[in-house]
Structure 1
């Protein structure tokens, strides 16, 4: 086997090994690792809203740092908001000196045009929350901002038509048989 052939074979083997190795987006300390899971969150009704109803949200935080969100309001039903897609993004955890783990997440979703609101937009969802491990619960604040389709939703300051809400949530944990 020639030196060139051995070099190509070694490079191919290294590539296969690297591709097969799992990668972690963040090294979670044990208290932050307990945040990983899926939560059923409740968004309290806003009495000044044009549609003051309770909202439910599934929020999934993965060990690799990915976050996904499905919202009961995705179908629309409001004069102010269009229907929208699931949201996807990332999250990270920080430890407060004397407090519970704090997490931040940024997720992106897309609105769907309607007859009344024909312009499709991008939505950025910023979440800051705290986790109570003993109770398996989350509490936090969410801010939603909108961008034109050619806008930059990674620029937190460029969003418009923002809305904010508080939430509480409970980790979904299977019951023992």
Structure 2
């Protein structure tokens, strides 16, 4: 027979495991929704055309003016994005946006506002290498979430680009929800 003290410890372990399973089930549900929504297979010979059409569709119809471009090759993604847009495209690496965000935070309210103004000013903002935002970068994920919505409200397009598997684990539910609302384009 198990002693009462051990029984309580076993019950606590079981409760913890159940909570972890519930959390994993919630992540699986959100990720499943991501795979189902707005996925578009792309003819590799006409990716710039597909991106232009997606941008037009998003700008005219969707509340969230965001496109997710996923593919394995960074140079290929960048070239296709540049070819797709006639207007100036500003490409910012996630690493640079992290540095800009941290510098803004060190600058207090004025620095934080400069960061927001800078990123909200671009007509078409591309955040590249999004896979590097995965994991324990909740504050930057939240700021990106806010910037995408602010830019959308101002009628500006944001393109998030990264490795095809840039959604891993540890992202906040809000971040995953935002990503699920964007128009997905897979390249190469």
Tell me whether the two structures share a fold, i.e. TM-score over 0.5: no
Using the size of structure 1 for normalisation, the TM-score is 0.30
Using the size of structure 2 for normalisation, the TM-score is 0.28
